[in-house]
Amino acid sequence: MKQIITIALASIILAACTSNEERLKQRAEELCRYIPDHELLEKSKDYLTADFYAVLDTMFNHLPDEQPLDHEWLYYFVTGNGGTIADYTVTAVEQTDEEHAVATVMVRQRWEPLRPAGTSPCEGEEVIDSTTDVEEHKLYMENVEGRWLMSDFDGHKADCLRHIALYRQEQAVRFAIGDYLVNEVGQHYLQGELCVPTIMIVATEEDTAAGKMAAYQAQVWGDFWVEWYRQEDDTLKCVSGGNHSGLMSLEMTDGKYTVTSFEQTVDGAGWEPSARRIFGPHYDIYMNIHSNQDIREENRRMQLRNYLQRRGISARYYQDYGWPAVKIEN
């Protein structure tokens, strides 16, 4: 009799465990629909833990691109650089404690349809295999007030936090450089209403000052531009400006960076020798940026857009003398 009861209890426990694992697998499959790949869906807020959603929301929606493709890696959470659709299969769920579980998710990528659904390939048209390799991912779950929510995916939460910290530090450097360009360099130009620098960083080296944990020093090599504008209706007309490439030395004390020195390239015949000396091993990267007008104008447009947004200024175009107006927003 005791043996029968023991077997029965074991069967009940096993069934309960199996049922719980199935429920977790079903929930994990539901959460897969809200993996932030290429975009963060607004409705995913109800399926992610508050801290994970806040980190992703900051990454996707509240970090302006100071340079093209600053946050390109965000688009590659699962599917890579376009052309495929992810199919998710949850193969296992391990509940590590009462409030946490880890789901193993196999992701198979399908090519997006190349023709309208229901149509057949044309004669001679190459037929591409509809699948790619299967990859394994980890979806982390947390029980919050009785609901299992996604708390991380492949450790990307830590990646995002690191990126945000680096972004904020770089922003502090950029603001210090911008202030210096406006207040020290821009004052030597014919002035308009707005002075807006374009900052293209070539390389950065940072060191903690010896014995001062609250003090940091940085060296920033960059292709820097200063432009003064006056506004006419919805257009910012450039009235003066110029290039000031070189090496800036900065120091941070009490949480704020300031520029302590600026070594610039010289004009005329001495420009190339001075650029080679100042940029040293970074010279080739500098030249790739400095010699490319498209890179410069794209950075100028994006940084001008962010400047206007921060200050609540309404303008749609900027224009250099003798050239057509350029739209600020794409």
**Is 123 inside any structural domain?**
no
Whether 144 and 194 share a structural domain: no
Whether 201 and 284 share a structural domain: yes
**Is 199 inside any structural domain?**
yes
Helix (H, G, I), strand (E, B), or coil: what is residue 248?
A: strand
Model-level pTM greater than 0.85? Answer: no
Cβ within 8 Å of residue 170, ≥6 positions away: 66, 201, 204
**Is 143 inside any structural domain?**
yes
Whether 150 and 171 share a structural domain: no
Task: Note down the domain range covering 70.
Answer: 2-116+129-154
Whether 231 and 181 share a structural domain: yes
**Is 196 inside any structural domain?**
yes
What is the chain's alpha carbon radius of gyration, rounded to the nearest angstrom?
Answer: 27
| DSSP assigned state of 330 | -
Whether 212 and 86 share a structural domain: no
Q: The tokens of 325 are what? A: 């107006």
Cβ within 8 Å of residue 122, ≥6 positions away: none
Cα–Cα dist 123/89, whole Å: 35
pLDDT 10s digits, 165-210? 888 888 899 999 999 999 999 999 999 999 999 999 999 998 755 4
137: nearest Cα among 29, 275, 57 = 29
Report the pLDDT value the prediction gives residue 3, as an integer from 0 to 100: 56
Q: What are the residue ranges in the chain where pLDDT is below 70?
A: 1-18, 64-76, 79-83, 112-132, 208-215, 330
Domain count, the chain: 2
Whether 294 and 255 share a structural domain: yes
Could you give the C-alpha distances from 197 to 62, 141, 176, in angstroms and in order?
A: 21, 45, 11
**Is 160 inside any structural domain?**
no
Whether 74 and 172 share a structural domain: no
CATH number at residue 32: 3.10.450
